[in-house]
A and B are shown apart, each in its own frame.
Chain A
Amino acid sequence: MTSMPVESPPKRATLRHRLFRTLSGEYFWLYLLLLPSLLILVAVILIPMLFAFQMSLGNTSIVVLGGRGTISNQWVGLQNYLSLLQNPSFWQALRETLYFWVVSIFIEVTVGIGMAVLMNQSFFGRRIFRVIVFIPWAIPTVVNAMLWGMIFDGDNFGALNDLLLQWHVIQSPIVWLNPSALFPQIPWLSNALSYLGSNLAMNSIIVGDEWKTLPIVAILVLAGLQTIPHEYYEAARVEGASAWRQFRQITLPLIAPVLTVVLILRTMQLMRAFTLIFTLEQFGLPVLSIQAYQQAFSFGSFGMGSAVSFLIGLIALVIAYFYIKRLYREEL
């Protein structure tokens, strides 16, 4: 019985075989469902990305006449990237982008968790409070920009200046949206902050941005908080743990996964922080995304603009890699 092994079919099916099996299989039409999305992905994301890379390797300019453009693309190799990396203003833009990111994330971790913990307390009107807190997130970004533009207006009728003048906190109005150095009285500190990308306009814009984005961070963290069983806290209280200790040893570890993902999501969005800065400052605060836009659409050098945007894409994909790795470790 055991001595006569049945001749097994060849292990490696030919390509034709596999194709046939795929096409006749019951899953075949399922692939058809996938097709439209794949086509969109290839046509609208992958091809433009490759095209951007190609343009970034050239001295690309376009001439549009009567709605029809002609493109001239002179191959220069990595010249665009090299001159970017040698340009101090690129590094300044990178530092400003990083400053925006680090400070926003810091605020979101501290204030965002604080707001979530607050919303998780029991108090009168909690349900309506949660709804109200969510509203700023719904305000369109451009409207948010205009609103904070009015609040930070540099004249004495700017809302913030008006309040501070009337309370006698300041004597003359401050131009909040001017990218001026902070602490001009202390030169070394002022220079260090400017080097790191911190100036008055940057910090004002961070405040305006946080008004819109803190709610979603707080509410997602709240969703994480609500999954923590009550018994954990009761047990900790029986053991005599202080509120701070409960927070550090129960709350924080248990919302860590939610928090990581929220933070990576926000990091991605910060890379997109174009709308707010462009609306309020035009080209006054040249973070990377503003530089890419300016190179292409103000200076007409599409090659250089593509190089900047390709670098932005690259940075984004590196962050996306960590994000996805995190998601997959939990799910699959």
Chain B
Amino acid sequence: MDAMAAQPHQARPRRTIKWSRIGVYALVLLVLTWTLAPLYFLVITSLKQYVGTIAYPLPWLPTPFTWNNYAIMFTNYSPDSISYRFLHALRNSVIASTATTVLNLVFGSAAAYVLARARMRGKNAITMIFLASNLLPTVALIIPFYVLTVTYLSGLHLYDTNTLMVILYTSFSLGLVIWIMRGYFASIPIELEEAARVDGASRLVSLIRIILPLTVPGLLATGLLTFLMSWDNFILPLVLGPDSSAYNLPFFIYSLSGQYLHLNNEIAAGGVLSAIPPVLIVLFFGKYIVSGLTAGSVKG
């Protein structure tokens, strides 16, 4: 009896395992298609001549093939040419995102250190206000920013400058940096710092020599997050910097579509070029970003 009953029992798990294997691979294939098909479409569109983007049936290979959509981003440089606008946008994106990242790391981690260590009344409230400020949508602040910039502060000539972009980007990601870095500082045992100070190091020296090296993963994660956030910004240049002195890559790509002619292949090429830096960051440092996000905003 037992032996007879055991036989179908033994056979069943093996078969369900096999089926679930197939199911897993089918789902993996489905997710891969969903993820990669749009990317593939973007890349082949960027390598097509214009006729290839409006043909029916649509060619699923880059035909008729051309490198020209990329070439025009770098050649024939003259005022108001496409390469002029692209290269200015690229320069502004690099300057603004880098400066924002540096400022955020310096100011943000300094504040985070204080909020993690100081015995000070109201430090939790301050942390909370910073975090809340980060959660405020840009769109809720863009109108006062615009009005203040062009009226009361017009003497400072901030409109259409990278300086203004950096100031505003910095304020938007500062809360997140402070929150994540505060978690990293709090996780470092205070005894470590005290030991250094017993050995005669001042608070500042112990902060720079002992504590900061231990928070490198956190600095990397928050720095990259800040960089990605400011690289992606669109509404600030749209309202406050629609000129070549301040607009960034997202605004440049938007402006390509705003023309009377909507050249999908050029838009796609611009899109691929502006997506390269963030994609590389995610490919190589994705792990740090995830651990920063989970350490900072998920686990607390």
> Is B49's CB within 8 Å of the partner chain A?
no
The contact of A143 among B142, B154, B238, B275, by CB within 8 Å, is B275
In the assembly, what is the distance between CA of A159 and CA of B60, in Å?
9
**15 cross-chain CB contacts under 8 A:** A29-B203, A34-B110, A36-B107, A37-B174, A55-B143, A123-B24, A129-B32, A140-B271, A147-B41, A150-B41, A211-B38, A261-B298, A293-B139, A296-B146, A309-B140
What secondary structure prevails in chain B residues at the interface with A?
helix
Chain B residue contacts of A182, Cβ below 8 A: none
Is B101 in contact with chain A by the CB < 8 A criterion?
no
Give the complex CA separation of A306 and B151 in angstroms: 16
Distance from A32 Cβ to chain B, minimum over Cβ atoms (Å): 9
Most buried by A among B36, B58, B143, B203: B143
Q: Are A166 and B57 also in contact (CB < 8 A) when A37-B110, A132-B36, A327-B300 are?
A: yes
Q: Does A51 contact B (CB under 8 A)?
A: yes
Asked whether A67 is an interface residue with its Cβ less than 8 Å from the other chain, the reply is: yes
Q: Could you mark each residue 44-72 of chain B with 1 if its beta carbon is under 8 Å from any beta carbon of chain A, else 0?
A: 01000000011111100000000000000
Tell me whether B257 is interfacial, beta carbon within 8 Å: yes
A102 CB–B CB distance under 8 Å: no
Residue numbers in B under 8 Å from A151 (CB-CB): 38, 41
A309 touches B114 (CB 8 A): no
Q: Find out whether the CB atom of B140 lies under 8 angstroms from the CB atom of A313.
A: yes
B131 at the interface (CB under 8 A from A): yes
- Other 11 A-B pairs with CB < 8 A, given A30-B118, A224-B294: A38-B126, A123-B21, A129-B28, A135-B39, A143-B42, A143-B253, A159-B58, A166-B57, A271-B137, A296-B143, A327-B300
Total contacting residues, chain B, CB less than 8 A:
102
Q: Which residues of B contact A136 (CB under 8 A)?
A: 35, 38-39
The segment out of B1-9, B78-86, B209-217, B278-286 that lies at the interface is: B278-286
**What residues of chain B lie closer than 8 Å to A142, measured between beta carbons?**
232, 234, 250-251, 253-254, 271
Q: Which residues of B contact A261 (CB under 8 A)?
A: 297-298
Select from chain B the residue with minimum beta-carbon distance to A142.
B250
Q: In the bound complex, do residue A140 and residue B137 qualify as a contact, i.e. CB atoms below 8 Å apart?
A: no
8 A Cβ contacts from A106-152 to B: 115, 118, 121, 123, 125, 129, 131-143, 146-151
A-B interface pairs (CB < 8 A), number: 301
Residues of B244-263 contacting chain A, CB below 8 A: 249-251, 253-254, 257
Interface residues of B in 164-206 (CB under 8 A from A): 167-168, 170-171, 174, 178, 183, 203-204
A150 touches B268 (CB 8 A): yes
Given A148-B38, A312-B140, the answer on whether A71 and B25 have CB atoms closer than 8 Å is no
Quick check: B111 and A317 within 8 Å, CB to CB? no
Contact A132 B32 (CB under 8 A): yes
B27 adjacent to chain A (CB < 8 Å): yes
Report which of B124, B157, B171 forms a contact with A41, defined as CB distance below 8 A.
B171
- A126 to B274 alpha-carbon distance, docked (Å): 28
In the complex, the chain B residue whose C-beta lies closest to that of A262 is B298
